[in-house]
Amino acid sequence: MIGFFDSGFGGLIVLKGVRKKLPDYSYIYLGDNDRAPYGSRCKEEIFWYTAEGVEELFRRGAKLVVLACNTSSAVALRRLQREWLPETYPDKKVLGIFCPTVEYLADLKVRNVGIFATEATVSSEAYIREIGKVSLETLVVQQACPLLVPLIESGKLDRLEITVKNYADGLLSKNKKIEAVILGCTHYATIENIFRRHIPESIKIISQEDVVAKSLENYLARHEEVESMLKRGGDCEFLTTGNSAHI
Ligand code: DGL
């Protein structure tokens, strides 16, 4: 099985994109809705909550887990891959969603980029670092959007329009030459239409729905040893740490 982990609902959009492209595999999704949002938590909490989520997915049969969460990818991925995985689960894999996003961006050859993300992702500066590795000339400005995940998770959708507008105005005022923006939190991809209303048409919006699917397909083609372990069947199981009656 391929596991998907997010702090809540956001990763569902990534899973949707992956299932559309790779419909034959079996999938399992875990949203840590009970402890979302991760974006305002400290690094240590984000690391251990992510490790617990990944471990649960391994326990239920996942051989490969995609962190469909920028915050977990920014704060926990490296440590999971370098320290935790080799010691505890040497035969399993964990992938993040930064590399696919940054590779996609690099192909666009833009020089001025804006990032919308959680506070933890913004302060990790992971996007600035990763983009810097592929393109030294790209100027990156960031906008933390701490109100968005709580609004999306609690279903308070009427307040999203004005909140997104304020964040979009904030980001665009930091660099008037922005050519592309990354929705650097999977929750934001679920409201891409609202972002589109407040960002000029000339600016490309990069959402991770399709970006991750393409990159995972590529990864599996290059890693036969992982691909051959994966269960097929096209089924998908959804798990939450929250109260499923409220979801
Ligand atoms: N979907 C997570 C991300 O991509 C949201 C993090 C949060 O829970 O604040 O960063």
Q: What are the residue ranges spanned by the domains of the chain?
A: 2-96+209-240, 98-206
Do domains 2-96+209-240 and 98-206 share one topology? The answer is yes
| Nearest-atom index, ligand 1, CA of 40 | 9
pLDDT of residue 202: 98
Domain 98-206 part of CATH 3.40.50.1100: no
Q: Which residue has the tokens 């979009």?
A: 168
Q: pLDDT band at residue 193, thresholds of 50, 70 and 90? A: very high
Mean pLDDT within 164-173: 98
pLDDT of residue 243: 80
Q: Which of 121, 148, 187 to mutate to test the pocket of ligand 1 (most atoms within 8 A of CB)?
A: 187
Global confidence as pTM: 0.95
Mean pLDDT within 94-119: 96
Mean pLDDT within 194-200: 98
| Nearest-atom index, ligand 1, CA of 41 | 9
Contact 140, 98 (CB under 8 A): no
How far, in Å, from the CA of 104 to the mean position of ligand 1? 20
**3-state class of 242 per DSSP?**
coil
pLDDT of residue 247: 55
Mean pLDDT within 210-216: 92
Q: Which residues line ligand 1 (CB under 6 A)?
A: 6-8, 10, 36-39, 69-71, 118, 121, 149, 185-187
DSSP H stretches of helix in the chain: 11-21, 43-59, 70-75, 77-79, 85-88, 98-108, 119-124, 126-134, 148-154, 160-174, 186-189, 192-198, 208-222, 224-227
Q: pLDDT band at residue 136, thresholds of 50, 70 and 90? A: confident
Q: Is 236 tagged catalytic? A: no
Q: Is 99 tagged catalytic? A: no
pLDDT of residue 245: 65
Q: Which CATH class is domain 2-96+209-240?
A: alpha beta
